Amino acid sequence: MERYDVVVIGGGVIGCAVLHELTSHGYTCVLCEKNAELVDEASSGNSGMAHTGFDAHQFRELQLLKAARKLNTNVYRKYEVPHKMTGAVLVAWNQDELAKLPGIVRQSHLVGVTDVRQISQKALREMEPHLSHDALGAVIIPGETVVDPWLLPIRLAHDALQHGAQIFRNCKVTDGYQTTTNDWLLTTTRGQLLGKAVINCAGLYGDEVEKINKESSFQIMPRKGQFAIFERSPKELLNGMILPVPFNQSYKGIIVFPTVYGNIVVGPTAEDQESRIDRSTDKETIDQLVNYARKTVPALRNKNVIGTYAGIRPATQAKDYHLITHKNRSWITVGGIRSTGVSACLAIAVHVKDEVIDKLKIQPSNNSPHSRSKVAGQQRSSIRVDPKGHLLMDGYSYKITHPLSRAGLLAKPKL
């Protein structure tokens, strides 16, 4: 039985980023994904936004969003992931909301997003000419970015695969224990695996996987968010994201935003539910979202809705991330990454790598990361999209599981 340095459980955006980071530093890794496809649960229903953290209040989330701002754009460029720093305007629609804008600017500056500023009604109309003239003013957040939310983790996982990592799909981890040598012997639906350390990135099932190690300190409380996607327009109706003045710290509210491929999307809702698999949409909610979008951007009244979808966020009883290093158990927990997984995944991965080195004291088996790979020095992967919705890359096939990515990539025969 092969002995891995690290076993990563969960093939969403966090698991793929962690796999990539550890592999790139010379660790022998295997990723276990219980579904037939990567990025097929919480990460297949997000908004495709990389946030600056201007409105973050939780310590761990704030610190990692800050670190991610220094990483994201370079990685997007390296792996040719479509992205655009559109910026966002947080819009006041009444006098009470207008009065809150200076406080939002102050809070943004306190957390280190110092380019946030308040703009006048006139400046807002010049910036977003198709926005309803009911808007009274806004705060501009220049660093907000849209990105292909599916292609990012897939490119990270694919690079790890090309450089020696193993990825097992249809591989649910059901049990495990530490051996007398402190290795983890895990039981999966594809047999047993042996690893020096385990990283729990299981998302919506993070609390259940956590019980393999010890009683979970958090409970997943699924929160559904519904979205509607409008058809593309021959001219841009929005230059950036339109954010509302938030109701509270845990919910940003409904956003109207362009995707990196030019569609306009409205959402998400925030609906607590018991089911971890119910990603259905309902007509009443979608109609409310569509009406909100058309009120916000009147030109959308002439645009058709071409699709709807829902994502489920792995919310917990706490607002902050659950990042726990069980030093004596060689186990790291990454849980409760509610709505900033795309935004913070690269920084979370660096944090995990640092914990593996500093706390678990595990050194990489490969002292020369990437240098032994048969594809080292390869300049660019060969990529195409087939009509059935699969991305074909270097002989591998990846089903496009995210609706926003499908809408964009299937309309583009080549990347």
List domains and CATH numbers for the chain.
3-51+149-220+318-409 (3.50.50.60), 86-143+221-313 (3.30.9.10)
User: How does strand 145-147 pair with strand 49-50?
Assistant: antiparallel
**CB–CB of 365/197 below 8 Å?**
no
pLDDT single digits (tens) 192-231:
999 999 999 999 999 999 999 999 999 999 999 999 999 9
pLDDT surpasses 90 at 48 = yes
User: How does strand 390-393 pair with strand 396-399?
Assistant: antiparallel
**pLDDT of amino acid 1:** 83
**pLDDT of amino acid 382:** 79
| Three-class DSSP category at 298 | helix
Average pLDDT, the chain: 94
Identify the helix (H) or strand (E) that includes residue 390: strand 390-393
Mean pLDDT along residues 169-188:
97
d(CA 52, CA 161): 29
Phi/psi at 213 (nearest 5 deg)? -85, -55
pLDDT single digits (tens) 237-294:
999 999 999 866 556 799 999 999 999 999 999 999 999 999 999 999 999 999 999 9
**pLDDT of amino acid 371:** 40
**pLDDT of amino acid 234:** 74
Phi/psi at 39 (nearest 5 deg)? 55, 60
d(CA 44, CA 181): 38
pLDDT single digits (tens) 351-409:
999 999 999 999 999 865 554 344 334 456 778 999 999 999 999 999 999 999 999 99
d(CA 325, CA 331): 6
**How many other C-beta atoms can be found within 10 angstroms of the C-beta atom of residue 80?**
13
Using alpha carbons, list the distances in angstroms from residue 290 to 83, 94, 98, 238, 298.
Answer: 25, 21, 24, 15, 11
Mean pLDDT along residues 307-335:
96
Burial class (CB in 10 A: 0-12, 13-18, 19+), 277: exposed
pLDDT single digits (tens) 32-42:
999 999 999 99
**CB–CB of 163/169 below 8 Å?**
no
Residue 279: HSE in the Cβ half-sphere, 13 Å Cα cutoff: 19
**Lowest-pLDDT choice from 139-143, 172-176, 310-314, 337-341:** 337-341
- Residues listed for the chain: 415
**pLDDT of amino acid 65:** 96
pLDDT surpasses 80 at 157 = yes
Confidence of residue 177 (pLDDT cuts 50, 70, 90): very high
pLDDT surpasses 50 at 415 = no
**pLDDT of amino acid 249:** 59
Listing DSSP states for 99-139 in one string gives: HHHHHHHHHHHHTT-TT-EEE-HHHHHHH-TTS-TT--EEE
Beta bridge partners, 84, equal: 146
Using CA atoms of 197, 202, 207, 213 in order, give the dihedral in degrees to the nearest 10.
Answer: -20
Q: Strand locations in 134-222, DSSP E?
A: 137-141, 145-147, 166-168, 173-178, 184-188, 191-200
**pLDDT of amino acid 380:** 65
**pLDDT of amino acid 383:** 87
One-letter identity of residue 158: H
pLDDT surpasses 60 at 163 = yes
**pLDDT of amino acid 370:** 53
pLDDT more than 90, % of the chain: 90
pLDDT more than 70, % of the chain: 94
Helix then strand count (H, E) for the chain reads 10, 23
**pLDDT of amino acid 250:** 58
